[in-house]
Amino acid sequence: MNLSTSYLGLDLKSPLVVSASPLSEEISNIKRMEDSGASAVVLYSLFEEQIRNEQQELHHHLTQGTESYAESITYFPEPSEFHLGPNEYLNHIRNAKEAVDIPVIASINGSDVGDWINYAKLMEEAGADAIELNIYSIPTELDTSSTDIERNYINILKCLKSTVKVPVAIKLSPYFSNLANFANHLVDAGANGLVLFNRFYQPDIDLEELEVVPNVVLSTSHARRLPLRWVAILYSRVEADLAATSGIHQASDVLKMLMAGANVTMLCSALLRNGIGHIKFIEQEMKEWMEVHEYESVQQMRGSMSQRNVADPSAFERAQYMKALRSYKPQV
Amino acid sequence: MDGNDAVTHVAYRTNEVIAIYPITPASPMGEISDSWAAESKPNIWGSIPSIIELQHEGGAAATLHGAAQTGALTTTFTASQGLLLMIPTMYKLAGELSPTVIHVSARSLAAQGLSIFGDHSDVMSVRSTGFALLGSCSVQEAMDFALISQAATLESRIPFLHFFDGFRTSHEVSKIEVLTDEEIRAMIDENQVRAHRARRMTPDSPVLRGTSQNPDVYFQARETVNPYYEACPVITQRLFDKFAELTGRKYSLYEYYGAPDAERVIVQMGSGVETTVETVDYLNAQNEKVGVLKVRMYRPFSAKFFAEAFPETVKEIAVLDRLKEPGSTGEPLYVDCVTALNEAIANGFGKFKSMPKVIGGRYGLSSKEFTPSMVKAVFDNLSKENPKTHFTIGIHDDLSHTSLDFDPSFSIEPEHVFRGLFYGLGSDGTVGANKNSIKIIGENTDNFAQGYFVYDSKKAGKMTASHLRFGPEPIRSTYLVSEANFIGCHQWLFLQNFDILKNIKEGGTFLVNTHYSADKVWDNLPRVAQENLIKKKVKMYVIDGYEVATASGMGRRINTVMQVCFFGISGVLPRDEAIEKIKDSIRETYGKKGDEIVNMNIKAVENALSHLQEVKIPEKVTSTIELNPLISGDAPEFVRNVLGTIIAGQGDDLPVSVLPDDGTYPTATAQYEKRNLSETVPVWDPDVCIQCGKCAMVCPHGVIRVKVYDKELLKDAPETFKSIEGKDKSWKADNHNFTIQVSVEDCTGCEICVDMCPAKNKQETRLKAINMEEVKPIHAQEKENWKFFLSLPEYDRRKIKIDSIKHQQIQQPLFEFSGACSGCGETPYVKMVSQLFGDRLVIGNATGCSSIFGGNLPTTPFAVNPEGRGPTWSNSLFEDTAEFALGFRVSIDKQQEYAAELVKKLAGDIGDDLASAIINAEQHTEPDIFDQRERIEILKEKLKHIHSQEARSLEMVADMLAKKSVWGFGGDGWAYDIGYSGVDHVVASGRNVNLLVLDTEVYSNTGGQASKATPLGAVAKFAAAGRPVEKKDLGLIAMTYGTCYVASVAMGARDEQTLKAIIEAEAFDGPSLIIAYSHCVAHGINMTTGMKNQKAAVESAQWMLYRYNPDRLLRGENPLQLDSKAPKIPVSHYLDMENRFKMLKNTHPEEAKFLYAKAQQDAIRRYQTYKYLADRHYELNGTANSEVDLKEALSKNK
């Protein structure tokens, strides 16, 4: 049985890729991912804020209160060298590349064009096989139009593409007026792959403290529906690889995504919940299902249930909405 | 490079074992050594020196002794009291001919007051130890003599003390020629190193040292070293000569400089020599015949070399000593000089045929300015027929009339030297920028450069003054700039408070950072500034530095902006070249911190000049604005005339007679020093307030106050005075209102109150019951409100329920408006103690932050209540506070006992009932103490009518019959390290002494060096690679005695527990030890949210909350109560909140990973240990009279 696929020009032994998460902060975990059957790993994200703020914060704390009082002119030793977060990240890429044979994809996360993009070049030099660009922003200004937002994404992508030679995938949110149109523009701007979708951590309110609090909720298989729809719609309509992320928890999720048209599926919550070894379990389940259903390869099923290839393309569109509502029987 | 850098450059390279302990101004030498070792920098033999921190200087000296005895090349650095702690070991080192060098940044000794500044009191105190004493006069010499002393000790076997003036040399930034490793190697004789090794103690070739000797041989044995002392000067001079061959820099043991036919000569050591040399040149150019004899080697004092150094024409000699030896025939250098010359003349060596006139004088104590004008006055004195001897120069002594007059306007500053004066705030980066400017000019031009920096006595809102000189010749002016070509005023507020332009020379340039544009600024200048600008024809420029800095991402740090403007208009370098050099320097300085920091600085450089505006100076003074009064008008006379003069920066002008002769100053003086530091202040919203008192509790500066009072009193209240009905039942019942009032003039704007406030506005949750607002619109009204607030009566202390914060906070703080850092974590504890027991509080305070914010002149935050009672406070030393406080206790108890004896004796006259009531008074509660004080007043009244000696004696001690609460305050450096043996002794003493450890987990006051309280993994100075071992558990150790009350508290985690602990500690009739977590600027945290750090420390079990009360044992209860709950957040969450831990990831990532993991394991174990101890079952058990009884007793106490 052939599980191999390709993503961003990389030949992968299976469509089971580990997405960016704290799990990849430890080299030992990355090794375990490979041992459990992951075909590639996207490293945890290096954030634009991390690059900027860490420097600012370190500088602030090293200078706070200094040169003010004769007895305590400074408060910290001043080493001649700092291993700032980005450098640590670059070392991490090197160490990961040494530790495993599977491709290592670096992830960089930002929201505006800036110097941070230059780090992609350093990631490439450190050995990253590809770059995943994660643009994470919540536009809130009343005078920012959707055109402005899309232009900003394109600019960031173009800027990054001009700095690196390795393939670049862009991780998107689903919140665009016409995702298909925008995806097409991104591909024109050089995106080699689209990662669908970014999960925004939605804030919550603490009623006792009257504070807005971050609330990390791990995904379930239900979250798979949204990327499934868009993978299916975009398959073969844009010239970029498609990675499906969010809600990939079991073999059936992977199979569905592949049928919708994904090149790869990305795992995060499932591993955080069940452990890294869960990859092996999914792979085994996949194989069993494919065997029972007499599929020989992943390529055979890829895109088979995409909008283009299904009998009823409207199933992925508005018409399906009416059907869904009609089928719902409220319990009173 | 400054003096400390220069010395460390050599000391590090030429040693293997470096024993260190922090003390100002020597600490940087240890810090640099530790940093270099952490970065694996080798010495000249390619090996990384071992750096070891000790618990005090005595320990450092002993380690030095041990290392030297076992054959290592070893050194240490110290100053002042630290050197005194080394004295016993120094005798041993010298007696055993152990080669080593102690480098000393010479500093004053604590006498009537402590001083961190420079003079020779410390080094002269060790002149009889047998150490050689070699003194440097400049930064260059400090580097050179560090090497020469190292070479000389190896060859002579006499241990050397190399000294240079604290601050004036140790902290002066100067352009010098740096010794290369080759030059250093060439001076260190490997044969001598091998000889030293060969003498080491080793079991392979055993020897015995440190014998106990008897009258038969001790004396003779003591004389065996004479040949070494005779040889030492010769060896040292030979090494000076060798050094000259290598470097071209020539030195002599006793070096004459001046007219070859001089008649009048000054003999002097240290940095003042440079000023004298400069003045000698000037005076000789005026056809005078004067000179200076530089004493470099003070011990062994070679009378022969010394006498030969003078020109034979010399008739009068003035010997200047930089210290005071009260009651002596003269200060040491003077006495040695007289003795040496007498011997020379008697024995026929030297050039003198007859004894010249020799007089002695004192100068420069505690870095007192020593200027050319003073040198001239000394020479003028020598010219007199009957010159004044044992004189002082630099002060006005109107008491004993020792001082010489001098003309402050006499200046010899050469025209070719550019002189700049810059006034900034600590937080705006002014000093850093100036150090950088010196580097740029020093490295990129042929000019020599000098920088000296003067800091404020307060830690919050402090002014810094940078004195810079640049010139084509080496700069010898070891005094402050008095006639500046350029003055930069980096804060507009300074112009309103001080005569900033006083020292500008005619035609000079003035740059000010202000929001006012060039066409608006004139009308806002104070009158005195306008007068100076016109009279001295000054060119003036303005820039809105904050606007440029903010736009460039630099926030409030205007350093780069102001530096660019300085180079832009001063002309010290061509403008474009200067800009490029600044950019290069930014890349070099900040490159390691990342592009972001580099880019924002570069941006600031590029934006600065376009915002610079020249001001057209009108011809007439138009301003009616006077300088702000720095002290309030209602201050008492002493505060106004003496302390006020110090506050105004004119303390140098105070004559001797106005200063207290025994170091005694009034308390309650900080209230008169209105500093108006903050542009934003907290504003109370009574409608949202839940009246919990937390804002007042955490206020580090005591500016937020709570009062509960009769509503009727509001009839005279100012219109804007806020008041609301008291929420508490008892207040309501009494018809009382509640007010929180802020003293806006004393607020530092730390915002910790806002962070702590638990109440939120229901409509706008961003608002709390206390919110920061701009001070300007409310300043006048709030001043008036504060005045009215103070006029409201204090709540009757007898009625306050002190066991809950909201009630307890009504107590008047008797600790207010301290000069501690904005947001300080120590002061809220001190304030709470002052509220609870202030009217009966006797405090012994260890040297450190708390002694600085508590007792640094000019003012003190310790205050008095309306009855005039309040804390009485003293600082003895760093190391002896527990014992000092024990002394208070024993003394007070004795006087109490004596008073009680007298009461008993006089019971017949006083009345048995009163006598009995007084003697048997419980004094546990406020009403008890109040009643006792009333009884004492009745007693005193009665005593007036009793005519006996005993009655008179009782009058003097009667007040001691009212309870006195004795406390020792200090930091962790004191309690865990230097003062630990005293703490331990007091803890074991059984006496009622309360010790409060303000635990910042580093030596905060000296700049954040590691103590034994520093937690595992924290980066601190002396622990640059992260502290590898766990924090000492001081509380657990103290508990082992079983007789001491012990508590560990963190106000930000559980304030009620802190309150309970302080009350219980004081109530416990025995020793108590409270260890209080105090967040600190040295932790690298956001000081506004410091209380959150405390909370996280407790929630992660990094810090434990507990109380151990031996009284519970008497009730059959477990004495230990664990107030911490099981850890609910990982330690890493807490560690990541603080730069001290987090930066280890940036400097030593692998170690950080290991230590983070270890810290978590330690926290769990710590919690489990305390939980186990606190869960143990206790029962009252009887005396075990038999083995059976014993078994039964044991079985109960499982």
What tens digit of pLDDT does each residue of B959-1017 get?
Answer: 999 999 999 999 999 999 999 999 999 999 999 999 999 999 999 999 999 999 999 99
Report the side by side order of strands in the sheet with B160-165: B50-53, B17-20, B74-78, B101-106, B160-165, B132-135, B297-299
Tell me what the pLDDT averaged over chain B comes to.
96
pLDDT of B444: 87
Q: What is the pLDDT of residue A331?
A: 63
Percent of chain B residues topping a pLDDT of 90: 92
Q: Delimit the domains of chain A by residue range.
A: 5-49+76-326
Range A172-180, long-range pairs (CB < 8 A, 24+ positions):
A172/A135, A172/A196, A172/A197, A172/A198, A173/A136, A173/A197, A173/A198, A173/A200, A174/A226, A174/A227, A174/A230, A176/A146, A176/A150, A177/A146, A179/A230, A179/A233, A179/A234, A180/A233, A180/A234, A180/A237, A180/A238
Contacts of B31 in chain A (CB under 8 A): 77
Distance from CA of B3 to the nearest CA of A (A): 15
Mean pLDDT of all residues in B580-586: 92
> Do B3-198+218-246 and B677-811 fold alike per CATH?
no
Q: Report the CATH number of the B252-393 domain.
A: 3.40.50.920
What does residue B823 show for φ and ψ, rounded to 5 degrees? 85, 15
B116 to chain A, any CB pair closer than 8 A? The answer is: yes
- Tell me the pLDDT tens digit for each residue of B834-857: 999 999 999 999 999 999 999 999
State pLDDT tens for residues B628-669: 888 888 899 999 999 999 999 999 999 999 999 999 999 999
Check if the interface score ipTM surpasses 0.85.
yes
pLDDT of residue B406: 97
pLDDT at A166: 97
A-B CB pairs within 8 A amount to 148
B108 pLDDT higher than 90: yes
- Token pair for A164: 């690196």
Q: Which residue has the higher pLDDT, A39 or A177?
A: A39
Give the tens place of pLDDT for each residue, B410-453: 999 988 999 999 999 877 889 999 999 999 998 888 999 999 99
Indicate the average pLDDT of chain A: 91
User: Does B504 have pLDDT greater than 90?
Assistant: yes
| pLDDT tens per residue across span B201-222 | 999 999 999 999 999 999 999 9
B592/A contact by beta carbon, under 8 A:
yes
SS3 B572: coil
- Amino acid present at A75: Y
d(CA B971, CA B115): 19
Neighbours of A172 (CB within 10 A): 23
In chain B, residues with a C-beta closer than 8 Å to the C-beta of A64 are 427, 1081, 1084, 1087
| pLDDT tens string A103-126 | 999 999 988 887 788 889 999 999
pLDDT tens digits, B1069-1099: 999 999 999 999 999 999 999 999 999 999 9
Asked whether the predicted pLDDT for residue A322 surpasses 80, the reply is no
Marked catalytic residue, from B63, B74, B107, B1064: B107
Are the C-beta atoms of residues B818 and B854 closer than 8 Å to each other? yes
pLDDT digits (tens, 9 = 90+) for B441-478: 988 889 999 999 999 878 877 789 999 999 999 999 99
The arithmetic mean of pLDDT across residues A19-41, rounded, is 95
Q: Chain A contact for B45, CB < 8 A? A: no
CA-CA distance, B267 to B163, in Å (whole number)? Answer: 17
B457-473 in b/e form (b: 16+ CB < 10 A) is bbbbbbbbbbbbbbbee
Residue B5 is predicted with a pLDDT of 98
For residue B472, CA distances in Å to B210, B280, B418, B469, B720 come to 55, 19, 10, 10, 62
Q: What are phi and psi of B78, to 5 degrees?
A: -165, -170
B1144 touches chain A (CB under 8 A): no
Query: Three-state SS for B794?
Result: coil
Check B31, B53, B57, B274 and give the catalytic one: B57
Q: Looking at beta carbons, which residues of chain B come within 8 Å of A66? A: 426, 432
pLDDT of residue A57: 87
The CATH code of the domain at B677-811 is 3.30.70.20
Select from A67, A80, A115 the Cβ nearest to the Cβ of B432.
Answer: A67
Q: What angle do CA B237, B240, B244 make, to 5 degrees?
A: 140
Alpha-carbon dihedral of residues B989, B995, B999, B1005, nearest 10 degrees? -110
Chain B contact for A222 (CB, 8 A cutoff): no
Pairing of strands B1002-1003, B841-845: unpaired
Answer whether B983's CB lies under 8 Å from B879's CB.
no
Q: Is B1005 known to be catalytic?
A: yes
At residue A216, the pLDDT reads 75
Candidates 3.40.50.1980, 3.40.50.970, 3.40.190.10, 3.40.50.10490; correct CATH number of B826-895+963-1198? 3.40.50.970
* pLDDT tens-digit series, residues B217-264: 999 999 999 999 999 999 999 999 999 999 999 999 999 999 999 999
**B1136-1170: per-residue pLDDT in tens?**
999 999 999 989 988 999 999 999 999 999 999 99
Query: Phi/psi at A19 (nearest 5 deg)?
Result: -85, 170
Residue written as token pair 């001001």:
B615
User: Hey, of A46, A47, A53, A67, which one would you mutate to test binding to chain B, going by the most B CBs within 10 A of its CB?
Assistant: A67
Residue B779 has a pLDDT of 96
Judge whether B107 counts as a catalytic residue: yes
**Does residue B1101 carry a pLDDT above 60?**
yes
Closest CA to B833 of B808, B855, B857: B808
Residues of chain B contacting residue A119, judged by C-beta atoms under 8 Å apart: none
Tens digit of each residue's pLDDT (9 = 90 or more) over A122-152: 999 999 999 999 987 788 899 999 999 999 9
Predicted structure pTM score: 0.93
Percent of chain B at pLDDT exceeding 70: 99
The reply to whether residue A75 touches residue B1007, judged by beta carbons under 8 angstroms, is: yes
> Are the C-beta atoms of residues A72 and B852 closer than 8 Å to each other?
no
Which CATH number applies to A5-49+76-326: 3.40.50.300, 3.40.50.740, 3.40.50.720, 3.20.20.70? 3.20.20.70
| CATH-assigned architecture of domain B3-198+218-246 | 3-Layer(aba) Sandwich (3.40)
- Give me the pLDDT at residue B728, please: 95
Question: Angle at which helices B27-38 and B3-13 pack, to 10 degrees?
Answer: 50
B589's tokens:
């300085």
- Specify the residue for token string 């529906």: A225
- For B569, phi and psi rounded to 5 degrees? -115, -15
Residue B1183 has pLDDT above 80, yes or no: no
Taking only the tens place, the pLDDT of each residue in B120-171 is 999 999 999 999 999 999 999 999 999 999 999 999 999 999 999 999 999 9
Mean pLDDT across the stretch B530-544? 97
Angle at CA B790, nearest 5°, toward B784 and B795? 145
Query: B418-615: CATH homologous superfamily?
Result: Pyruvate-ferredoxin oxidoreductase, PFOR, domain III (3.40.920.10)
Q: Which of residues 419-448 of B touch A (CB under 8 A)?
A: 425-427, 429-432
Alpha carbon dihedral B284, B288, B289, B292, in 10-degree steps, equals -60
User: Given CB atoms, is B465 within the 8 Å cutoff of chain A?
Assistant: no
B57 is catalytic: yes
Indicate yes or no: CB of A74 within 8 angstroms of CB of B1007.
Answer: yes
Instruction: Give B 828-867 residues with CB within 8 A of chain A.
Output: 852
Chain B CB within 8 Å of residue A112 CB: no
Q: Which band of pLDDT confidence, cut at 50, 70 and 90, is reported for residue B589? A: confident
Put simply, whether B464 touches A (Cβ < 8 Å) is: yes
Cβ distance A67 to B557 less than 8 Å, yes or no, reads: no
Is B284 annotated as catalytic?
Answer: no
Pairwise CB contact (< 8 Å): A65 & B464: no
- Dump pLDDT digits (tens) for A232-278: 999 999 999 999 998 899 999 999 999 999 999 999 999 999 999 99
Given CB atoms, is A144 within the 8 Å cutoff of chain B?
Answer: no
Of B1198, B1030, B1190, B1183, nearest to B1118 by C-alpha is B1198
pLDDT above 60: residue B896: yes
Q: Which residues of A are less than 8 Å from B557 in CB distance?
A: 63
